Amino acid sequence: MKVRIRTHHANIAEVSEKKTVKIVVLASGAGTLLQSIIDQQGAYQVVGVVSDIDCAALERAQVAGIPTEIISLAESRDRDDWNTRLVAAVEKHNPQLVVSAGFMKIVGKEFLARYGGRTINTHPALLPAFPGAHAVRDALAYGVKVTGSTVHFIDEGVDTGEIIAQQAVDVRRGESEADLHERIKQVERKLIVSVLNSAVVVMNAETNCEEVFFHV
């Protein structure tokens, strides 16, 4: 299936056929972000949840009747084999988009070749500022007055993919890293749902290519 992503403001009013965007979520932890995504499905539908470990996120998906699968790195021959199995686990659901929601593994070249252009990630900072695993700590150490949350596509870099949407969060004087991170997470949950519910997938009759538009 060919899918092209467009992130500019799309004029979809004249589109005759609109489809629900099918998404697969990758998750490794408690699943609070996943829960928000599940609870507020509208323009999108969660058709599968894949994890690298047995975790609470899978339980949340199972309660909602969503198919789940574990692709364990420890049970794979090597990293390449794990990536091959991860791609297969996602492909069986035939999604237009993949959402990384607290997924704690870095995907490899095979996954990026298949889904890199349509896998969304959230990051607890206003990219391109403060990429990496310690974004909240780094923002506090730098002394910024404003940070926030970013929704972006993944690519081969570290938090370098195309930005889809951002929302700012003020930094309070004397605030701890944990408290700031929790407030960013609250914004993050609303932002990712807003982005996903802004999406529409349509078929371009001329190119025979499905196009996903975000009108954010």
The model scores a pTM over 0.85: yes
The token duo for 190 is 């609303």
The model's confidence at residue 83, banded by pLDDT at 50, 70 and 90, is very high
- Better pLDDT: 56 or 8: 56
Mean pLDDT of the chain: 90
For strands 97-100 and 21-26, give the pairing.
parallel
Please give the residue range of the domain that contains residue 189: 3-214
The model's confidence at residue 35, banded by pLDDT at 50, 70 and 90, is very high
47-63 pLDDT tens trace: 999 999 999 999 999 99
* Average pLDDT of the residues in 121-145: 97
Q: Of 123, 134, 152, 181, which one is the catalytic site residue?
A: 123
Active site residue 123: yes
Residues annotated within a binding site: 79, 104-107, 121
Taking CA 60 as the corner, what is the angle to CA 216 and CA 194, rounded to the nearest 5 degrees? Answer: 10
CATH of the domain at 108: 3.40.50.170
Tally of structural domains, the chain: 1
150-206 pLDDT tens trace: 999 999 999 999 999 999 999 999 999 999 999 999 999 999 999 999 988 777 777
Residues annotated within a binding site for (6R)-10-formyltetrahydrofolate: 79, 104-107, 121
